[in-house]
Amino acid sequence: MKPLSRTNTALLLTFLVIVWGVNWPLSKMALSYTPPLLFAGIRTFLGGLILLIFALPKYKSLHFKETWHIYLISAFLNIILFYGLQTVGLGYAPAGLFSAIVFLEPVLLGIFSWIWLGEPMYGLKIIGLILGFAGVAIISASGFTGDISALGIILALGSALSWGLGTVYVKKTGDRVDSIWMVTSQLMMGGLFLISVGSSVESWSNIQWEMPFITNLLFISTFVIAFGWLAFFTLVGSGEASKVGSFTFLIPLVAILCSSILLKEHLTLNLLAGLILIVISILFVNSKQKSQTVPDSV
């Protein structure tokens, strides 16, 4: 994929961090109107349908017979496992602890990118990844109280692992498929699977189709799911996956700031301490080795 300019990279990163950050409080609000698995399936499938409008003019780039397995594996890792384990796991662990474990993903992504993509790994980057995770953990510390089960922790780790593996897989196979068809296909495949599972264990009659929920669902499906995933994989495809991943440490920060506004949740000193560590983390991960030149993109 062609490298992005610094300006386009900055704009996409800003968009991604904001919409994926606001997704957490919006999803929490939506779950008061709908069962979790059906909600996960509907929003991802609807996101795929929205992108399908933009993908159809490029139908000749689909090559489904030759590449269907790539779309299926990506859907399994990035949608079915990531959203499925996350949705179920939140019922077994406090939200703060769960989100902190899920955002171990940038650390895992750094390791996976080093092993399978040949991206450089050096001392400052390792320290940066550790500091970023520590920052997320500090920010999420207020949610560490409550009943903690081993199952909840395992599901959170599974969610982080699937996201990391899925990102590396998309990066590694990116030259074999069209980017917009990759995102569209995985959203529709994964969404259909989650809807099927949700339909077997949950009831459609429990969804309250009220205007606040419909507005919320349309926003999440369009900006968080459709264009959010497209922006994420565009960034990953154009630069080092581990460096893009480091910026996702900012998402819990945005989530808490938005929660304080939308859900009247309190801000704490943990937020400031975590922010400082995250900023240092991003600087470290995106620093260059002395032997390297400065890239044009993240």
- pLDDT classification of 295: cutoffs 50, 70, 90: very low
SS (H, E, C) 198-216: HHHHCCHHHCCCCHHHHHH
**Using one digit for the tens of pLDDT, what is the confidence trace for 23-55?**
888 888 898 899 999 999 999 999 999 999 999
**What single-letter amino acid sits at 236?**
V
Token pair listed for 237:
């495809």
Average pLDDT over residues 166-195: 94
Cα dist from 259 to 11, 19, 83, 127, 256, whole Å: 23, 13, 20, 29, 5
What share of the chain has pLDDT > 90, as a percent?
Answer: 55
Q: How far apart, in Å, do the first and last CA atoms of the chain sit?
A: 13
Q: Is the pLDDT of residue 269 over 50?
A: yes
Give this prediction's pTM.
0.85
Q: Which residue has the higher pLDDT, 248 or 294?
A: 248
Residue 298 and residue 279: Cα distance in Å, rounded?
15
pLDDT tens digits for range 272-294: 888 889 989 988 988 876 544 44
- pLDDT band with cut points at 50, 70 and 90 for residue 93: confident
Residues 6+ apart with CB under 8 A from 223: 19
- Mean pLDDT across the stretch 111-124? 92
